[in-house]
């Protein structure tokens, strides 16, 4: 975690309170800071880039649904630095409006529509197959879906969202853990301005370095880059490719290199040796490797 004892920071995330991005932001920084929910990932990058926010928290991959490709594209096109990562467990719950004393609790068979973010709906496919009378309805955000359910008088609708969203918007949890796979995690990156001073690497600690680069069109160019790190016995925990907007079948590659703090100088030297082999290379940042807390 980034050390900011006694300093109140502004951290932005996509969504509203109760969204998994909000939960991850508080999990990483603690809840003593100012958290600002924004409508889009693009808005987060612009706020951080202009230094209107100290940090942004963005999802980049989910253990079930894969990469959040939009954020890889934004990492390539914006001048920000990656300064941390965080793994957030994703537990989806079926939330319904609280009933009054005069009303009967709603039965599962009565629920006709279920609102949530498309990724959340994708991660609950087996639940919908089992309950075919329910129609999934796409909504902007899990927490926004919960807030919508709380604002309506309709009884036969529900939302898929977090337990925190149920508490915030005063909803009942009708069914817990409805995701297809209990091993459901989202990896978030912490971004900040290029002008913000980075923390000094701690002794005897595992780190990651995230890089983005483009390559000449010739056989073995990607293999050569990967080979540099393989020959140094450094693990690549992530390899992602994205098409470059405005080009025809040209790609930018993103890799995460894991290394021990005592290999920091080695990693920097290896990156420097990659410069002549790439058309363009961008070091997104060096940051402490996070662990999944099970």
Q: Are 15 and 82 within one domain? A: yes
Q: Are 67 and 47 within one domain? A: yes
294 lies in some domain: no
Catalytic residue among 142, 186, 192, 278: 186
Tokens 């809840």, residue? 31
Catalytic residue among 127, 188, 229, 253: 188
188 is a catalytic site residue = yes
| Structure letter (DSSP) for residue 205 | -
Q: Are 65 and 97 within one domain? A: no
Q: Are 118 and 85 within one domain? A: no
Q: Where does the chain show beta strands of DSSP type E?
A: 10-14, 34-38, 55-62, 66-67, 80-89, 93-97, 113-116, 135-138, 157-161, 171-175, 185-193, 206-214, 236-243, 251-260, 280-288
150 lies in some domain: yes
66 lies in some domain: yes
pLDDT above 70: percentage of residues in the chain: 98
240 lies in some domain: yes
2 lies in some domain: no
Residue 136 belongs to a domain with what CATH number?
3.40.190.10
Q: Average pLDDT for residues 267-283, to the nearest whole number?
A: 95
Average pLDDT, the chain: 93
pLDDT greater than 60 at residue 4: no
| CA atoms within a 13 Å half-sphere pointing along the CA-CB vector of 262 | 1
Q: Are 185 and 171 within one domain? A: no
Which pLDDT tens digit goes with each residue over 199-256? 778 888 999 999 999 999 888 899 999 999 999 999 999 999 999 988 888 999 999 9
What integer pLDDT is reported at residue 6 of this predicted model?
60
292 lies in some domain: no
Structure pTM? 0.92
Q: Average pLDDT for residues 188-206, to the nearest whole number?
A: 88
What integer pLDDT is reported at residue 127 of this predicted model?
96
| Count of domains for the chain | 3
158 lies in some domain: yes
Residue 231 belongs to a domain with what CATH number?
3.30.70.260
CA gap 218, 222 in Å, rounded? 9
Q: Are 218 and 241 within one domain? A: yes
Domain span including residue 241: 204-287
Q: Average pLDDT for residues 78-103, to the nearest whole number?
A: 92
Question: With bands split at pLDDT 50, 70 and 90, how would you rate the model's confidence at 115?
Answer: very high
């Amino acid at each position: 975690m980034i050390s900011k004892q006694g300093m109140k920071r502004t951290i932005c995330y996509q969504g509203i309170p109760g969204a998994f991005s909000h939960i991850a932001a508080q999990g990483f920084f603690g809840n003593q800071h100012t958290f600002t929910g924004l409508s889009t990932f693009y808005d987060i990058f612009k706020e951080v880039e202009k230094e209107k926010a100290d940090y942004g928290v963005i999802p980049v991959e989910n253990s079930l649904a894969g990469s959040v490709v939009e954020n890889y594209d934004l990492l390539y096109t914006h001048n920000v630095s990656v300064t941390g990562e965080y793994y957030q467990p994703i537990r989806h719950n079926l939330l319904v409006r609280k009933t009054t004393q005069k009303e009967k609790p709603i039965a599962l068979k009565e629920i006709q529509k279920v609102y949530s973010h498309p990724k959340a709906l994708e991660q609950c496919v087996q639940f919908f197959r089992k309950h075919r009378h329910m129609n999934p309805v796409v909504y902007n955000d899990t927490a926004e879906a919960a807030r919508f359910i709380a604002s309506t008088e309709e009884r036969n609708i529900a939302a898929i969202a977090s337990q925190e969203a149920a508490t915030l918007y005063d909803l009942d949890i009708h069914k817990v853990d409805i995701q297809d796979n209990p091993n459901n995690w989202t990896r978030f990156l912490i971004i900040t301005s290029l002008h913000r001073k980075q923390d000094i690497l701690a002794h005897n600690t595992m780190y990651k370095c995230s890089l983005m680069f483009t390559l000449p069109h010739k056989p073995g160019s990607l293999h050569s880059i990967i080979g540099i790190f393989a020959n140094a016995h450094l693990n690549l925990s992530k390899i992602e490719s994205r098409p470059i907007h405005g080009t025809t079948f040209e790609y930018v590659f993103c890799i995460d290199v894991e290394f021990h703090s005592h290999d920091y100088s080695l990693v920097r030297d290896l990156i420097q040796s990659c410069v002549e082999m790439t058309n363009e290379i961008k070091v997104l940042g060096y940051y402490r490797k996070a662990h999944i807390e099970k």
